[in-house]
């Protein structure tokens, strides 16, 4: 699998809404190779997810994956590799949570973004099968972040500009409090959602 160059903020390709992918196109070798390259690129960069526009492709394809070895996001709950094609995101309930986010396409910057606490995502997997998942907390935030990319939206568009910090300053001044807040949220969601 080849690692692609990540498109960064300022490149107009990040601002273009991506187009839907048809079944035949999804099954094609070029699109399957693109998905493999996106996986390799996300893993090489230690991201929590990546969307096709971030590697310069205007297609409604994104993926999320978090494991405990992720150096950028060791505090995020695990997400098994999930490829989402033509996703439709539906908030569940009105509650929002502030999530401190970063982005591979906005290197060095983080900010607090209001995200829906719970979302339903309907999508096709890389084999074209219809799927649906419900995500909560930081995992819900990850899927919202990636779907935003498919609409030409970056996290910094939604963040309170007063919350912006470099990664270094986040680690120094904000990380500990944010992680404590997210751990408490994860515990609350586990109680509410049950086994």
d(CA 38, CA 3): 7
**Who's near 29: CB < 8 A, 6+ residues apart?**
none
The region, left, alpha or beta by phi > 0 then psi within -120 to 50, assigned to residue 48 is alpha
CB 68 within 8 A of CB 109: no
The region, left, alpha or beta by phi > 0 then psi within -120 to 50, assigned to residue 53 is alpha
Is 130 among the residues known to form the active site?
A: no
Options 65, 101, 112, 146, the catalytic residue: 146
3-state SS assignment for residue 64: strand
d(CA 113, CA 134): 20
**DSSP calls for 90-129:** EE-SS-EEEEEEEETTEEEEEEEEEEESEEEEEEE-TTS-
Instruction: Tell me the catalytic residues.
Output: 146
């Amino acid at each position: 699998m080849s690692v692609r160059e990540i498109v960064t903020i300022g490149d107009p390709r990040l601002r273009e809404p991506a187009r839907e992918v048809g079944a035949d196109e999804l099954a094609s070798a070029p699109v399957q190779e693109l998905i493999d390259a996106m996986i390799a690129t996300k893993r090489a960069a230690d991201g929590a997810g990546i969307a096709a526009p971030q590697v310069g492709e205007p297609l409604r394809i994104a993926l999320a994956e978090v494991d405990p070895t992720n150096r950028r996001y060791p505090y995020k709950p695990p997400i098994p590799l999930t490829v989402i094609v033509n996703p439709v995101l539906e908030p569940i309930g009105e509650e929002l949570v502030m999530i401190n986010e970063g982005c591979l396409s906005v290197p060095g910057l983080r900010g607090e973004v209001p995200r829906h606490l719970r979302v339903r995502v309907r999508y096709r997997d890389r084999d074209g099968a219809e799927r649906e998942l419900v995500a909560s907390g930081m995992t819900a935030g990850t899927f919202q972040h990636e779907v935003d990319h498919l609409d030409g939206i970056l996290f910094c568009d939604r963040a309170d500009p007063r919350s912006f910090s470099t990664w270094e300053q986040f680690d120094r001044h904000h990380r500990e409090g944010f992680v404590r807040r997210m751990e408490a949220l994860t515990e609350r969601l586990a109680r509410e959602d049950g086994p």
